[in-house]
Each structure stands twice: as C-alpha cells, then as structure tokens.
Amino acid sequence: MGTLKDRLRADLTTAIKGRDEVRSSTLRMVLTAVTNAEVAGKTHKDLTDDEIVTVLASEAKKRREAAVAFEDGGRPESAAKERAEAAVLQDYLPEQLGPEEIAQIVSAAVEQAGVAGEGPKAMGKVMGIVSPQVKGRADGAAVAAEVRRQLG
C-alpha cells in the first residue's frame, strides 16, 4: 500500500475528529475514487503513489470544471464548495508548474523531437515526450495549448 494512501486515511481521521466537514467529505470522496480505481478491471491491485496522484489530479480537475459550470449557471454557493474541495485536493498534488516552466519543457521537447517548423501535425510526437514529464503537475489543456502555440 502506498504511503500517499496512508496519509489520506490519517488526514481523514484527523479531519473527522476536528469536525472539518469539507476536508473529511473530500478525503472520503478521494479514498472512494482510489478504491474504485483499485478494483476496476479483472483483478484488484493496490495503486502506487503515482497512480494515486493521477486519481487526485482527475478529481481536482472535475472540481475545477464543476466550479466553472456552477458559476456560469448562477450558483455561486455550489461553485465555492467545489473550489474548497479542489483546494483540499491540491494539498496532496505535486507543486503545479507555471506557464514559463511549461513553455521551457515544451520547447525542449520540440527540440528533442526535431519537429520545429513542422506545424500541428507534429503535436502527437511532442505531447508524447512532454506528458510523462508534467503528469500530475500541469493541466493537460494548458500543455496542449502551449504545444500548439510553439508548433505554430
């Protein structure tokens, strides 16, 4: 069992004892998502910390998207709840990359792939190099936008 899962469980216990409703409900939801990922497929397997980070990133993205949807739908109280949950999840994710760092990684990948000037058709090659480097540390849409910008 991964140490990140142990930390999530311990923090859940602390949140319940401290009567922190948002944190405890968010951690319960994440642990459920981790368990679902473990039992998905034909055989049960314990997730590694990297796989748990992938689940956390996915859940955080869902919260951000839901917050935007609630905001657009005129439900600011629901949007605030989703943002609070996303903030809790952020505590367990690696430090997020800034736009400059993403740009540096993408430009290095374009150089490594040797596709400068090939245009959008080389996007798959570049994303294949960049994705493992930024996994869990950057939003995929932001990375794809930067790749498109640099490939011109």
- Shared-domain flag, residues 52 and 35: yes
Residue at which a domain ends, from 73, 90, 107: 90
- Shared-domain flag, residues 7 and 73: yes
Query: In this structure, what token pair is assigned to residue 59?
Result: 């859940």
Is 29 exposed, middle or buried (CB count within 10 Å of its CB: 0-12, 13-18, 19+)?
Answer: middle
Give the Cα separation of 117 and 128 in Å (integer). Answer: 18
pLDDT tens digit string along 43-68?
A: 888 888 888 888 888 898 899 999 99
Judge contact between 115 and 126, C-beta under 8 A.
Answer: yes
Judge contact between 94 and 53, C-beta under 8 A.
Answer: yes
- Shared-domain flag, residues 81 and 126: no
Structural domain count of the chain: 2
- Shared-domain flag, residues 13 and 52: yes
Instruction: Kindly report the CATH number assigned to the domain that includes residue 123.
Output: 1.10.10.410
- Residue 1: band (very low, low, confident or very high) from pLDDT cuts 50, 70, 90: very low
Write out the residue range of the structural domain in which residue 86 sits.
3-90
- Residue 77: band (very low, low, confident or very high) from pLDDT cuts 50, 70, 90: very high
| 85-119 CB burial, b ≥16 within 10 A, e <16 | bbebbeebeeebbeeeebbebbeebbeebebeeee
- Shared-domain flag, residues 68 and 24: yes
Nearest-10 crossing angle of helices 49-72, 21-39: 120
Instruction: Kindly report the CATH number assigned to the domain that includes residue 47.
Output: 1.10.1510.10
- Shared-domain flag, residues 107 and 86: no
pLDDT tens digit string along 123-134?
A: 888 888 888 888
- Shared-domain flag, residues 45 and 117: no
Least trusted range by pLDDT, from 15-24, 104-113, 134-143: 134-143
> What's the pTM value of the predicted model, to 2 decimals?
0.76
For residue 98, is pLDDT > 50?
Answer: yes
- Shared-domain flag, residues 10 and 59: yes
